[in-house]
Structure 1
Amino acid sequence: MKLTIYFDGKCPLCLQEMRALQRKNAENLLYFVDINRLDFQELYPQINVEKAKAILHGEDDSGNILLGLDVTYRAWSLVGEKWRVAPLRWPLVAKAADKAYLLFARNRYTISRWLTGQERLDCRQCTELNSRE
Structure 2
Amino acid sequence: MALRVAASASRLSSRPQNPSFLSLPHPNTLKFHNPPSHQPRLDALPSLSQRRHVRAITEATALEPDEELKDWKIKMLYDGDCPLCMREVNMLRERNKSYGTIKFVDIGSDDYSPEDNQGLHYETVMGRIHAILSDGTVVTDVEAFRRLYEHVGLGWVYAITKYEPIGKIADSVYGFWAKYRLQITGRPPIEEILEARRKKGELCKDSNACKM
TM score, norm. by length of structure 2: 0.50
TM-superposed CA distance for 1:69, in Å, is: 1.1
Q: Report how many residues are paired.
A: 115
Q: 2:90 aligns with which of 19, 25, 28?
A: 19
Please give the alpha-carbon distance, in whole angstroms, between the structure 1 residues aligned to 2:163 and 2:81: 30
TM-superposed CA distance for 1:80, in Å, is: 0.7
- What SS is found at the alignment partner of 1:40? coil
Letter in 1 for 2:151: L
1:9 is the counterpart of 2:75: no
Q: 1:50 aligns with which of 103, 119, 123?
A: 123
Q: Deviations over 1:44-102 (max 9, x none)?
A: 35212211000111111111111111110001011111111112332121111111111
Please give the alpha-carbon distance, in whole angstroms, between the structure 2 residues aligned to 1:31 and 1:73: 15
Contact 2:114 2:121 (8 Å CA) reproduced:
no
Higher RCO (CA 8 Å, separation ≥ 6 residues): 1
What is the match of residue 70 of structure 1? 143
What is the match of residue 129 of structure 1? none
The worse-fitting range, judged by mean Cα deviation, of 58-67 and 103-112 is 103-112
What is the match of residue 109 of structure 2? 37
TM-superposed CA distance for 1:111, in Å, is: 3.1
Structure 1 portions without partners, runs of 5+? 114-118, 121-133
Letter in 2 for 1:51: T
- What SS is found at the alignment partner of 1:91? coil
User: Percent of counterpart pairs with the same letter?
Assistant: 26
Please give the alpha-carbon distance, in whole angstroms, between the structure 2 residues aligned to 1:91 and 1:22: 30
What is the match of residue 126 of structure 1? none
- What SS is found at the alignment partner of 1:105? helix
Please give the alpha-carbon distance, in whole angstroms, between the structure 1 residues aligned to 2:128 and 2:179: 8
Find the structure with the greater CA-based Rg.
2
Please give the alpha-carbon distance, in whole angstroms, between the structure 2 residues aligned to 1:110 and 1:42: 26
- What SS is found at the alignment partner of 1:107? helix
What is the match of residue 161 of structure 2? 88
- What SS is found at the alignment partner of 1:109? helix
Q: Deviations over 1:2-40 (max 9, x none)?
A: 100001111111111111111111121001111111221
